[in-house]
Amino acid sequence: MAFFDKIFRMGMGMFLGVWIARYLGPDSYGKLNYVIAYIALIGSFTNLGLDGVVVRELIKEKAQKQEIISTSFLLQLIAGVFAYGGAILLIPILRPDESDLFWMVFLVGLTLIFRSVGVIKYWYEAQVLSKYFVWLENGLFLCFRECVYY
């Protein structure tokens, strides 16, 4: 299931990437990719390495699942807020002459805060029910793609 998920996402991502590149043009598309890479670099710290730890603890301590998930959510939410603030504060220092990059970071950076919702996936992984989460992710990906396309 995970293999087909990756293939599906790569194919749809390539189609969407080509369409956005043609629509934006080289300059704007380059700026968008810069912002996405910048946010991805900063966002790599927001999950705090809790992926495997939370899944392992959910398997071991079934009675404390709400406490484990809520603690992980709160930690990742706080890390996301700090990362978002740091990204916004750092971009004017890195690229002071480009105000459009600031606004792009302001919008794209919001994803850093919402990454904490991904803790729900940990419960599905602990229950070996990942296929349902993959279906949900792919459905949302298709809906988002359609919204961007139209």
Rg of the chain in Å (alpha carbons): 18
Give the residue extent of every domain in the chain. Answer: 2-149
Residue tagged 């495997």 (tokens): 52
The total of other beta-carbon atoms located within 10 Å of residue 79's CB is: 20
d(CA 116, CA 130): 18
pLDDT in tens, the chain (150 residues): 567 777 877 887 888 888 888 888 888 889 988 999 999 999 988 888 877 888 788 888 878 888 888 888 899 999 999 999 999 999 999 998 888 999 999 999 998 988 888 887 777 777 766 666 666 666 766 666 555 545
- Written in H, E and C, the secondary structure of 15-70 is HHHHHHHHHHHHHHHHHHHHHHHHHHHHHCCCCCCCHHHHHHHHHHCHHHHHHHHH
